[in-house]
A = this chain, B = another copy of it.
Amino acid sequence: MQKFSPWKLLSSRTTYKNAWLAVREDSVITPTGSQGVYGVIESNDSVAVAALNDKNELYIHRIFRYPLQNWQWEVPGGGGDKEHAIQASKRELEEETGLKAEQWDILGVTGVCNGFMTEKMTTCLARGLSVVGDKEVSDEQTADGGFYSLEKIGAMIDSGEIQDGQTMTVLYLLQRWLEKNS
């Protein structure tokens, strides 16, 4: 297997930046030898939380996703804000759901969209859940949160009610964990 990069970098510039992401445009020689550009989206790494109750039900909620302009069923999560993944997951879980967990494990670290983005998502498993407070009022509008069986969630995916690919990545990792730990 080739270990090296088949691309050559000529120069690099940041073409856009806001508080959450930057776009870097690299001038490159492509692997086939032509000159071109590669636009890379640089965003902070993120976390996704598989909050599992004693009945092996998973917490999902609807969140309004501005880029798609609609409400999406998802597991809790968000930007990592450069914290450790479990710290970030504790914060996101409590902010978005009012839940706290006794026990935390990391299920996997996965590229989100590796053709365009540098972002990696860490999936954290949260168990030993208790309600500690109200959800925080934030720009991430959430609704209809609750615990659902994995069978019900699978049926919601089959019907197209759940469409979030990142949540399916979490479900794949969670199912592997359950197969080995149940």
Contact = CB atoms under 8 A, between A and B. Distances in A.
A111 to B, nearest CB: 5
As for how many copies of this chain the complex holds, the number is 2
Interface in A137-160: 137-139, 141, 143-144, 154, 157-158, 160
Contacts of A67: 38, 40-41, 114-118
A101 interface: no
Q: Bin chain A's interface residue count.
A: 35 or more
A1 B144 contact: yes
Task: Classify the interface of chain A: helix, strand, loop or mixed.
Answer: mixed
A169 B176 contact: no
Contacts of A139: 30-32, 36
A19 to B, nearest CB: 8
Interface string A122-139: 000000000000000111
Interface centre among A26, A78, A166 (most CB of B within 10 A): A166
B1 A62 contact: yes
Given A41-B67, A65-B114, A168-B168, 15 more contacts: A6-B141, A15-B23, A16-B25, A23-B23, A32-B138, A38-B66, A67-B114, A108-B160, A110-B168, A111-B163, A113-B117, A158-B176, A168-B173, A169-B172, A175-B175
5 contacts: A16-B25, A18-B37, A32-B137, A40-B67, A110-B163
4 nearest CB pairs, A to B: A110-B165, A65-B114, A172-B172, A165-B169
